Structure 1
Amino acid sequence: MANLVSLERVSLVFGTAHVLDEVSLGVQTGDRIGVVGVNGGGKSTLLRVMAGLQEPDSGRITKQGGAEGIRIGMLSQVDALDPGWTVHEAVLGDLPEHVWAGDPRMRDVLTGLLGGTGAEGMGGLDSLVGPKSGGERRRLALARLLVADPELLLLDEPTNHLDVEGVAWLAHHLATQRPRPGNATVAITHDRWFLDAYATMTWEVESGGVTAFEGGYAAYVLAKAERDRLAGLAADRRANLMRKELAWLRRGPPARTSKPKFRIDAANALIADEPAPRNSVELASFASRRLGKDVLDLEDATVVLGEPPNERRLLDHVTWRLAPGERVGIVGVNGAGKSTLLRALTGEVPLAAGRRKIGKTVAIAFLTQEVRELERFEQWRVIEAIEDVKQWTTLGGKEISASQLATRLGFPGGRQQSRVSDLSGGERRRLQLTRLLLTEPNVLILDEPTNDLDIETLTSLEDVLDGWAGTLIVVSHDRYLLERVCDHQLALLGDGTLRDLPGGVEEYLRLRAAAQARATRPDGIPARGATAAAGGTSPAGPSEAAAPASNPAQVREARKVMARVEKQLARLGEREARLHADMVEKATDPSALDDLTARLREVVEERELLELEWLEAAETAG
């Protein structure tokens, strides 16, 4: 293994902030690195320095083979595609059809990101880039890089604008299709599922430094927890010594103004490497208004967008009843109508048929994707935007001011006086969440809440939602968030139904894959599982397209399979628990942790196969 690029004591200062402070690191061939850290911490700057797009103030950058040795490709958060290009020119350049059509890797990229290898992909290979949406242009820019396949691939938030299927495809492609001798990938991401599925190493960018951890997100969390535990023990010892030194310095007659120099030096040494207080983010849990037995119901509801003959039925006579305290996640492809469904729940989108029923005590807070609620506060200061909702609130049994609350929510000191227009995307999202929580709702509706949020803020948000006493509805492409805070998931499959997903996001991906396979079969024979994908059900009852009845012998055999699989799953659960315990014990041993992570991944894959087998048997058993 050789270094593709090395940074030696690299420093970069923007104003008074040390974005990179004598950073030394290297990217080796075969590396798949995930980069995490708070917004504004220097992650994108690090990638720009590695790509040669940003000159450091000091230090040295070495690339394999010199300046012309390796090809480096970078996906930035702003695409540079020419609006006059066609999709073919943007992604494939001047490659003739027999070249890209005969390359399985390129075909995989076109299918995974554009939706097809022919005229059906992204509106057709001859369609222009200019009219495409921001999300479509982002996919084109990513596809262009993956087709070019440089030795060092640098990706800045590649999962932005990708749905659940797109994220799963990208993780699989980067982990299995791209790796070859001589190349490596570095990706900034806040998508923790993607980080776990893709990365063999995690870099944390914090306070101008970069700390490397072996493995993906799970291994990173375990190793960091162990590091923090050891740091806590050291801090306790330090605090005890500091108290003794300070007590000695205070002893003696008031007139004595000097102390032996060695004692002063000892006290200074104790605090010399004491880190500055961290700008922590704490999203606090606020009291919710009492929620009655009736929340929100859609009864025999139909939602239509557009006018005939171009109208689209997003919901077709769907009944959905939300229970008090229910926590539901909603998934679906882009354009399936997830955001429209949320607006139908809030009453912003009228129903073409059916009715919407809302409980008398319901107080809804709706986090939209556009953050439109902050537009009228552009020239306000952060503290003014918070005080606009409440100047005082009760938190943890104590009354605190809006300024104290703002500090706890990651807006310390002078940042409270910043204008809303000057906030970063993540800060604006955090401010919007703060304002919503201060209204003390009992129904919280979140449309893509993870947009622009870093992992630290995401974990704080999840901590809030863990203790949420009301009803929670979340639309998100972040699998980790959905599985973390929701009790079950529903899917919009584009056929007008709202389907329950007992198997969670994995079941949704299987349904989508089966439907796509059936659609591409030339003989028209449904692929395995495609009937289930096409049928769909409403939580209120079965779909009209019911599965054919099974005979008694098939039912008995299916129940035997279910019993066998349940025993295997129980044994796997015990193995998984032992592996987690071993990972905690070996958190400071990178080689052992890497081996345990690989074994855990095998257990997870085996469990997913068994769960699929159980679901298929359950469909037969009824």
Structure 2
Amino acid sequence: MNNLSVENLAKNYDERQLFENLTFGLEQGQKAALVGVNGCGKSTLLKIIAGIEPPDRGEVSFRKGVRVAMVPQSPEFDDNDNIVQAVFAEDIEELNVIRDYEIAIHKATVDPENAPDLTDVLERMDQLNAWDYESQVKQLLGELGLHDLEQKMGELSGGQRKRVALARALVVKPDFLILDEPTNHLDLDVIEWLESYLATANLTLLMVTHDRYFLDRVTNEIMEIDQGELFRYKGNYQNFLEKKAEREAQDAATVDKAKNLLRKELEWMRRQPKARGTKAKYRVDAFYETKEKASKGTQRAEMEVNLKGERQGKKILVMEHVSKRFDKIKILENFEHTFQRKERVGIVGPNGVGKSTFLNLLIGNILPDSGNMELGQTTKFGYYTQEEQIFNPNSRVIDVIKEVAEVIKMADGSVITASQLLNQFLFPPKMQFNMVGKLSGGERRRLQLLRVLMNNPNFLILDEPTNDLDLMTLNVLEDYLDNFEGCLMIVSHDRYFMDKLTDHLFIFEGEGQVRDFPGNYTDFREQGGKLAKKEEAPKKSTDKSPAPAEPVKTEKKKLSYNEQREYDKLEGEIAKLEKERDTKTALMNQKTDFEELQKLAEELEAIRDSIEEKEMRWLELSDKAGV
């Protein structure tokens, strides 16, 4: 029985037909992703299903008793609420008492002398058997990195607000979960936890995401909106790519056949008398049907990126003994690197550790506290920022591009107009005269990317470039970047994008320390690499004396013979378990039988527990050895 039924759904936006006659259903345990080009109506469809927007036509219905939760792309909160109030916003009796309990415990901890009477709230917790639920909520908040529950929502960053939105949706234990770009603005460790959680959770999932690893490891079905139609593909992202290629090849053959038929039909139509009534009606109807099929394949366009980067000299950028701090936070300490031509660097680290500050330091927006930075005479930066560029919503799309240049030089030396360039970036002539305020979020990001690339940079810095971009745009962008002749630096939580384009990583470990790792992000994780957690910073020494130039060395404690043997084996055991975990997760994506899925979920949970136990032991032994 379907948890969700969608029948004959249609929606127009600003005189543009997004989709028409969409009909589909999702059963309990199905985990589906919705994909398609920017502006095709993915987020609008999610809002209609969630009841936030009305359709023009059609019906959406959930099975009786199904509890639905949604995490929108840009969650909204009352800035005056604290995290507790935001997370426990749903009026559910068990959640209400857990919220009251957390507030009371916090007050008792902060001000023990004026601690509230807990008798009533403890009795209510007992009556509702809410203790297990409270423990699960606590674990959930911990995994999402939400510790200071009294912090006001107005003080939180975009990533923190996204984590609160996820917590708000997950604490209600939904039967049906709707997610719109759930990985945007999240730390990599939170993304990996969420990926594992959703892969094993017994719920129905419908999401929009550009994260291809996330798609591959969580979903068992992908639905594509293409030219207003819905196409369904069983399996994960890899299967989707194979089946989509087969469908498009079949469509191309159908279009070719229809074109041949159309020529014959045209000849027949022209030979007949002018009055329509004298023609055989079935032939007239067949003509228009064939004409529609023949023109179908000509409507699909693909983005082109053929922009030229400026020639790069031998010296690009040299950084010597560079240090930078803000107040008491060290961003860099004694950092050194000489950038080479065609170097591809990925930057990873928890939110708040200084990655964006480092980028601004590179391009000269801020100056180092000490050290030298020598920029090559021919080096020309292009900086795509994480924050969406603010365009005047009343400006026309073409005017936004003409602000940079009327004509643009291409990679082959030719010159094209701003209008032609916009057409290559999937802004056809009709859309070029639209107001920017009418564009979707992904379309605005594509416009921002175009403005950066048309300046012909030879040192390209991309800060979260994949947010809000559709999969087709990402594939074309990756192909362009793969052949880019200049330097490339990427900050991204999209592991697929990073793995595909980077040769080495700058690992921001906190306290100004940056490690240069030879390999991509998956290499880093497979070798047991872990990212520092931002919340661990306060645990460091509070000594007010000046920081020493070199890290303080602690005397190594010698491990016993048995401990050393255990330590040597642990990395291999952890790696083996992680492979087993990935195999089980992939297997789950192929199964549809509920009992098999349940069994696999239990096995996967046991493997995750074992990994966590061994990682904790590895850390304990490495600390003891002073490694």
TM over 0.5: yes
The corresponding residue for 1:459 is 475
Q: Tell me whether 165-174 or 134-143 shows the greater mean CA deviation.
A: 134-143
Check if 1:71 corresponds to 2:67.
yes
Q: Distance in 1 between matches of 2:131 and 2:80?
A: 22
Does structure 1 residue 412 correspond to structure 2 residue 428?
A: yes
Deviation at 1:159, TM superposition (A): 1.5
* Structure 1 residue 246: Cα displacement: 4.9
Query: Which of 516, 525, 528 lines up with 1:500 in the alignment?
Result: 516
Whole-Å Cα distance in 1 between the matches of residues 237 and 529 of structure 2?
26
Moved more, 33-42 or 275-284: 275-284
Question: What CA deviation, in whole Å up to 9, does each residue of 1:582-606 have, x standing for no partner?
Answer: xxxxxxx999xx99xx9xxx9xx9x
Contact (CA 8 Å) 2:352, 2:534: kept in 1 or not? no
Give the 3 Å change call, closer, same or farther, for CA 148–371 of structure 1 in structure 2: closer
The structural deviation recorded for 1:434 is 1.6
- Aligned counterpart for 1:356 among listed residues 352, 373, 385: 373
Aligned match for 1:146, one of 157, 163, 170: 170
Cα distance change, pair 269–432 in 1 and its aligned pair in 2 (3 A): closer
CA distance 1:10–1:498, shift in 2 (3 Å): same
Residues 481 and 278 of structure 1: CA distance in aligned 2, closer, same or farther (over 3 Å): farther
Q: Cα distance 1:364–1:14, how it changes in 2: closer, same or farther (>3 A)?
A: closer
| Partners of 2:536 and 2:396 in 1: CA distance | 53
Q: CA deviation at 1:302?
A: 0.5
What is the Cα deviation at residue 464 of structure 1?
Answer: 1.5
Deviates more, 1:405-414 or 1:422-431: 422-431
Deviation at 1:415, TM superposition (A): 1.6
- Structure 2 counterpart of 1:26: 25
Specify the alignment match of 1:536 in structure 2.
none
Structure 2 vs 1, CA of residues 404 and 105 (structure 1 numbering), >3 Å: closer, same or farther?
same
Whole-Å separation in 2 of the counterparts to 1:450 and 1:284: 16
Percent identical residues:
34
Please give the per-residue CA displacement for 1:107-146, whole angstroms capped at 9, x wherever unaligned: 332112134xxxxx1xx22333343233322211210111
- Does 2:303 correspond to 1:292? no
In the TM superposition, what are the counterparts of 1:201-600 in structure 2 within 5 Å?
Answer: 201-246=221-266, 267-274=287-294, 275=296, 277-278=298-299, 280-306=301-327, 311-372=328-389, 375=391, 379-392=394-407, 393-394=409-410, 396=412, 398-502=414-518, 504-506=520-522, 508=524, 513=530
The alpha-carbon deviation at position 278 of structure 1 amounts to 3.5
CA RMSD of aligned residues (A): 4.4
**Contact preservation (8 Å) 1:444, 1:471:** yes
- Contact (CA 8 Å) 1:18, 1:207: kept in 2 or not? no
Q: After TM superposition, give the deviation of residue 56 of structure 1 in Å.
A: 3.1
Q: Which residue identity does 2:363 align to in structure 1? A: T
Per-residue deviation, residues 298-340 of structure 1 (Å, max 9, x unmatched): 111101112xxxx211111011121101111111111111111
Change (3 A) 1:55 1:519: closer
Partner of 2:140: 109
Taking structure 1 as reference, are residues 544 and 327 closer, same or farther at Cα in structure 2, changes over 3 Å only? farther
8 Å CA contact retained: 1:11, 1:58: yes
Change in 2 beyond 3 A, CA 1:418/1:208: same
CA–CA separation in structure 2 for the residues paired with 1:397 and 1:239: 36
Q: Which residue of 1 aligns with 2:10?
A: 11
Q: Does structure 2 conserve the Cα–Cα contact (< 8 Å) formed by 1:491 and 1:508?
A: no
Instruction: Report what 2:86 is aligned to.
Output: 90
Q: 1:186 aligns with which of 206, 209, 212?
A: 206
Q: Mind listing any 5+ residue stretches in structure 2 that lack a counterpart?
A: 89-94, 103-124, 541-549, 623-627
Q: Shift of the alpha carbon at 1:352?
A: 0.9
Per the alignment, residue 194 of structure 2 pairs with 170
Q: Is 1:129 aligned to 2:122, yes or no?
A: no
Distance 1:40 1:467, change over 3 A: same
Q: Deviation of residue 548 (structure 1)? A: 8.5
Equivalent residue pairs, number: 539
Q: In structure 2, do the counterparts of structure 1 residues 449 and 126 end up closer, same or farther at CA, with 3 Å as the change threshold?
A: same
Q: Distance in 2 between matches of 1:257 and 1:397?
A: 54
CA contact (8 A) 1:10 1:59 kept: yes
Matched residue, 2:46:
47
